[in-house]
Amino acid sequence: MQAYRHRVVVLLPILALPWLVWAETARFGGKEGWQGVRTQGIRTTTAWRGADALAISSIHRNPYTDSQSEHNLNAIDIFLLAGYEDIENLSGLYRIEGEYEISRQVSARGETSIRFEPSGIKLFPTPKAMWTAGRDWGDFTLEFWLNPTNLNDGELLFLWKGRTAYGEPQYLRARVENRRIIWDFENFFRHGADRSLIMQLRSTPLVPEEWRHHRIRYKSDDSSPGPSGASPGFLEYLIDNIPADSIHTTPTGTESPEVFTPKIGSLSREPLLLAPDFNGYIDEVHLSSVFNTNPVPKNFSNSNSISFGIGYTDVIDSGYLGSEITAFRAYYDAPGSSQIRFFLQAMSNRDETQHVGFPNPYNPDWVEIKLSTEEDNPLSSGNWRSWEAEHTISGRFFVVGYILEPDIDADTSPVLSALEIEYEPYLLD
């Protein structure tokens, strides 16, 4: 934050006032940066003139630190997130090896994603992991966000090789064919010691360089069918929460009392291979031992809550008790029905500045102000908007607060690039 002093000509005899009145401007964002603000639920992005700007953080990415998480933490087997510097291996049930890159240019819901290198990632299960040799599964859900680069036939997104106690090979692979992801289950679903199935699930056609959410979920029995009404043996593939393909793990592929379930062969020793030959980006790789019926989280909302961003500036000390706020400007983009609400707070005593918190529309200390667009520029990602004081907001100390609200339907966030507050230092008689 920097303060700028401008000379204002006062057309009165100089002896009529003991001093000249001048205006000062405090600026945040833009080339000054955002070091002088405190935020919650906010992330930085690049916007106007290539400078850092503020946007809403994505909702509920880490279930282990989210008190409102819908996840049953005990059911989580794999949870890989693209962190800022490296992969966050949240469950810790697998050892990761391989070559990959954290990309800050391409992202699904966070600020980064995992970019595949030619050899992909190997996941070695620990004894408590679902892919440990000899484990029998019940319900499961495997889901992730995927952004393919090429979608060339034959690319491999996922590969696991196992072997039963009798030496029979098992396979689970996901490969590209005709712009679709094909999941091949060979002897993965078993019944008894010597009976198994070969089956397949297919995605809908995908588009290169487009993020889609993939979910494969399986219902093993008739306990707690939930809102889906899934019957035992139901295996379903959903893209962006829309069913793409389904089958029952039975000899007929339809509902039947004879259900085959996932069994990891006791002689299985190979790691899981994530993208051993695939070009693209991935994030939020999640495997759990539940049949997940929750809607796919958006960037800024899910079935229970909405994500907002709030913040306020450092206290601005005008130096004089009777100083007045005279104008306020902000440069921001608010696509769709998203919006930014701005608030001002004035204080006279230094002790009051120790108790400043995030803006609250129901707190009378915060005065909400309405801004008007100065000049609409359809070619720009944002506009300057301004407020001229209609009534005096006075004190010695000033703080600017803001609340960023998303467009829930379009799943977009407003972006705040800069703000300026103008005030006149004025000593009371």
Say whether both 416 and 347 belong to one domain.
yes
For the cut 50, the answer to whether the pLDDT of residue 11 exceeds it is: no
Condensed to tens digits (0 to 9), the pLDDT of residues 392-404 reads 789 999 999 999 9
Q: pLDDT confidence of 374, banded at 50, 70, 90?
A: confident
pLDDT of residue 48: 81
Within-domain flag for 298: no
Would you place residue 16 in the very low, low, confident or very high pLDDT band (cuts 50, 70, 90)? very low
> For 270-286, what is each residue's pLDDT tens digit?
999 999 999 999 999 99
Residue 184, in any domain of the structure: yes
Q: Are residues 197 and 97 in the same domain?
A: yes
- Give the Cα-Cα-Cα angle 272, 212, 142 (nearest 5 degrees): 35
Question: What phi and psi, each to the nearest 5 degrees, are found at residue 110?
Answer: -95, -150
Residue 294 lies in a domain: no
Residues 222 and 259 in one domain: yes
Q: What is the DSSP string of 147-160?
A: EES---TT-EEEEE
Lowest pLDDT segment from 103-117, 130-144, 149-163, 167-181: 103-117
Between 24 and 244, whose confidence is greater? Answer: 244
| Residue 202 forms part of a structural domain | yes
pLDDT value of position 144:
98
**Pair 420, 364 in one domain:** yes
pLDDT for residue 60: 81
Shared-domain flag, residues 95 and 200: yes
Domain that holds residue 311: 2-57+306-424
- CATH number, position 168: 2.60.120.200
- What Cα–Cα distance (Å) separates residue 233 from each residue in 219, 249, 264, 293? 6, 5, 17, 16
What average pLDDT score do residues 126-132 get? 96
Show the tokens assigned to 274: 């994530």
CATH code at position 387: 2.60.120.260
Residue 45: per-residue pLDDT: 87
281, 313: one domain: no
What is the residue-averaged pLDDT of the chain?
Answer: 89
Angle at CA of residue 238, ends 229 and 174, nearest 5°: 125
Instruction: Point out the domain boundary residue: 288, 320, 349.
Output: 288
- pLDDT score recorded for residue 118: 86
Residue among 300, 316, 333 at smallest CA distance from 401: 316
The number of domains in the chain is 2
- Answer yes or no: do 225 and 129 share one domain: yes
Evaluate whether residue 299 is within a structural domain: no
The pLDDT of residue 286: 97
Claim to verify: residue 137 and residue 191 sit in the same structural domain: yes
Element containing residue 144 per DSSP (H, E): strand 140-148
pTM of the model as a whole: 0.81
Share of the chain above pLDDT 90, in %: 73
Residues in the chain, total: 429
